[in-house]
Structure 1
Amino acid sequence: MRTLVEHRPPRRATPERMQRYARTALVIGLALLGLWIIHDFLGALVWAAILTVALWPVFERACRWWPAGRRIVWPALFTSLAGLVIIVPLVLIAVQVGRESRDAFAFLHDLESNGIPVPDWVGRLPVGAKAVADWWTLNLATTFDTNDVLRRFSHGSLFSVTREYGAKFAHRLVTFVFTLFTLFFLFRAGDHVKLQLLEASQRVFGPKGETLARQMVASIHGTVDGLVLVGIGEGAAMGVAYLFTGVPHPVLLGAVTAVAAMIPFGAAAAFGGAGIYLLIQGAPGLGILVVAIGLAVVGIADHLVRPAVIGGATQLPFLWVLLGILGGVETFGLFGLFLGPAVMSALILLWRELVGPRAEPVSPA
């Protein structure tokens, strides 16, 4: 039996298809080239976008109250306020560090001469007082050679360290200024950018693209409220606790606690350090009280308030919010605080659409 094999002529690419392939390759190539050109400023663009999304509801309310200031006044005011919120705490911390430098050098000198003496409360321990006192005397009550640390910083190494950190500071300053410029222009053209992004998402991803984009924006709003606002509340509560327990500089330490509380479980380092300070100063009861108040505040904020705020805005279980925050910080640094939950929210939305109820029952076969 003879088998007849039909030979089909190879399909030739039409000019329209060739042009489409060439246009796609050109777009991808130009996009990659553009990202490579501005890669040093991608961080500034991302931060500007995050701040714009976070502040946009308040900005829109202000524009409805006074529409004439939408082009210049309100963008300039909101950009200035965002810059001051970042600059003022850094300046206050730098001034406070400069004021405390003399006390820090005095503490180092006393540490070099006497070490950390055994506190009185160690002798009043009901169990293990002698063992704790012996350990403290062996490890903490001895003298420290702080001059050996200072000798390591020779003139050459000090110059190189200053030059390295000076270059990094200059780069951070330029990035910060560029972030503010970008933020100003995003506020001015926010309506047009929003419409263009929604139109692009609809053309590329269809009707689900707009839903996905709105879900990611809502997750950023919820994350900002849940991390920043709740963190400020934790810092304020702990600042009052620091004030009444005698911790030095309660306002400054409360601000540090607020910043640390924006990262889950980060506030424990702040109030834990305050508790250790009171313990060393001979006030173990106050130290335990500060730690207990801190655990209560963090427990309420992280297990009740924060899940309700973030989960209510994103319709996302707090476990996935927590994984998005921690994984985002591990992968992207501070950007991950906001990008991580946004990505997880989009993935959960896609998963719910994939496994959602069907219009018709599925056949057992």
Structure 2
Amino acid sequence: MHASRPEVTRTLLAVMTIALLIVTSLWVLRPFLGALIWATMIVVATWPLMTALQRRLWGKRGLATAVMVGALLLVLFVPLTIAITTVVSNADKVAELVPKLQEATVPEPPSWVSGLPMVGDKIASFWHGVAVNGVAPLLANIKPYAGDALKWLASQAGGLGMVVIQFLLTVAVAGILYSTGETAARGVRGFARRLSGVQGDRVVILAGQAIRGVALGIVVTALVQSTLGGLGLLITGVPFAAVLSAIMFMFCLAQLGPVLVLLPAVGWLFWSGDNTMGSVLLVWTLIVGSLDNFLRPWLIKKGADLPLLLIFSGVIGGLLGFGMIGLFIGPVVLAVTYTLLDAWIGDAWPPEDNATPANDGKQA
């Protein structure tokens, strides 16, 4: 009895020491965790592209890494810089435009608007009210929310420099992971094997597939919708089509859809008196806005062999719980949990022949 006490004490102290080391390490790495998580998601999602690029570049990993890092800079850093510059340079124009909106007039809605299924009467009634009473009452209702939004933007303005630094740090970490990806993957898979054997290795592989599936479904769908939406804006003559397309792409990534940009553009065309182009853009908005209903599920299912409901729950729940990074964290966590539960339950799953009461009655 007395001989076992030192073993229990030593085990407890060892666990406490390991836990303390883990917590301290995470505390030290805390400034880099966001960039590390983002870089890991990006590298896992684009790893097949990097390996294909390496084969085309004479098998040179350094050249492939340089090209991928340059592409990430073009995708992340350059658009961010342009967006910040555009907002700052056009702030005065936006401030001058707000008072003019109160004097603007809106034409009556076309007759076909009321014929739209389900929402036609409500849209026509609201449109008629704005046409009769003007934009001023609408702006008065929006003003409190606009004030809160401006206060939030002002509070976030000081953090723009930190956002740029985080983006650059993400690209730098991604470059390191591109160059040493196999070693990092071997370490993660080895750790998973130490925890739960072959099943742990399978969980890691499935998590990578979930990341690629979500990235393929969300990013490609956002790219297709924003491109088609921007094309519609350009054809119908809406100004600042390129800037609106970029905003549309960000909205699609955030699962808000392109409609938040396209519908105001439709309203602007009708407001300007161009009913023909307004009608064309409205039909195009309905088409582009509904693309994600079948394109995203098909792409996600193609990239990850997981239940579609599981993936969607992870995407939406992760976005609400963790922000943009939750788009990837949510599906990965649910995929790992689902795999572990499936393996655990599967070991004790009853035979199919004996699972129903009917079969039980026959055997009795």
Comparing 185-194 with 91-100, greater Cα deviation is found at 91-100
Does residue 121 of structure 2 align to residue 110 of structure 1?
no
Provide the residue aligned with 2:23 in structure 1: 32
Question: Which aligned pairs between 1:4-43 and structure 2 lie closer than 5 A?
Answer: 10-13=1-4, 15=6, 17-43=8-34
2:177 to 178, 183, 186: 186
- Deviation string 1:264-308 (CA, Å, 9 cap, x unpaired) is 3422212122222223323355334323322222323x2222111
- Cα offset for 1:345? 2.0
The one-letter amino acid of 2:27's match is W
The one-letter amino acid of 1:180's match is V
Does residue 42 of structure 2 align to residue 74 of structure 1?
no
Provide the residue aligned with 1:86 in structure 2: 76
The separation in 1 between residues aligned to 2:283 and 2:158, in whole angstroms, is 43
Does the 8 Å CA contact 1:222/1:311 hold for their aligned counterparts?
yes
Question: Which aligned pairs between 1:278-357 and structure 2 lie closer than 5 A?
Answer: 278-300=269-291, 302-356=292-346
Does residue 272 of structure 2 align to residue 277 of structure 1?
no
Does the 8 Å CA contact 2:229/2:258 hold for their aligned counterparts?
no
The one-letter amino acid of 1:329's match is L
The one-letter amino acid of 1:206's match is G
% of aligned pairs identical?
23
Provide the residue aligned with 1:249 in structure 2: 240
Comparing 206-215 with 121-130, greater Cα deviation is found at 121-130
Question: Which aligned pairs between 1:102-181 and structure 2 lie closer than 5 A?
Answer: 103-111=93-101, 115-119=103-107, 121-122=108-109, 136-140=131-135, 165=156, 167-181=158-172
Comparing 315-324 with 188-197, greater Cα deviation is found at 315-324
Return the TM-score normalized by structure 2: 0.80
Change in Cα spacing, 1:167 to 1:102, as seen in structure 2 (3 Å) is: closer
- Deviation string 1:89-142 (CA, Å, 9 cap, x unpaired) is 223334544665565355335336xx11242x4597999999966654435258
Provide the residue aligned with 2:218 in structure 1: 227
The separation in 2 between residues aligned to 1:330 and 1:359, in whole angstroms, is 34
Change in Cα spacing, 1:347 to 1:268, as seen in structure 2 (3 Å) is: farther
1:200 to 179, 183, 191: 191
Change in Cα spacing, 1:131 to 1:271, as seen in structure 2 (3 Å) is: closer
The one-letter amino acid of 1:28's match is A
Does residue 255 of structure 2 align to residue 264 of structure 1?
yes
- Cα offset for 1:52? 1.1
Structure showing greater Rg: 1
The one-letter amino acid of 1:217's match is G
Comparing 74-83 with 226-235, greater Cα deviation is found at 74-83
The separation in 1 between residues aligned to 2:59 and 2:11, in whole angstroms, is 45
Return the TM-score normalized by structure 1: 0.79
Does the 8 Å CA contact 1:123/1:133 hold for their aligned counterparts?
no
Does the 8 Å CA contact 1:237/1:297 hold for their aligned counterparts?
yes
- Cα offset for 1:234? 0.9
Does the 8 Å CA contact 2:212/2:303 hold for their aligned counterparts?
yes
Quote the RMSD (CA, aligned, Å): 3.6
Provide the residue aligned with 1:155 in structure 2: none
- Deviation string 1:306-333 (CA, Å, 9 cap, x unpaired) is 1111023222233322221111011110
Does the 8 Å CA contact 1:111/1:143 hold for their aligned counterparts?
no
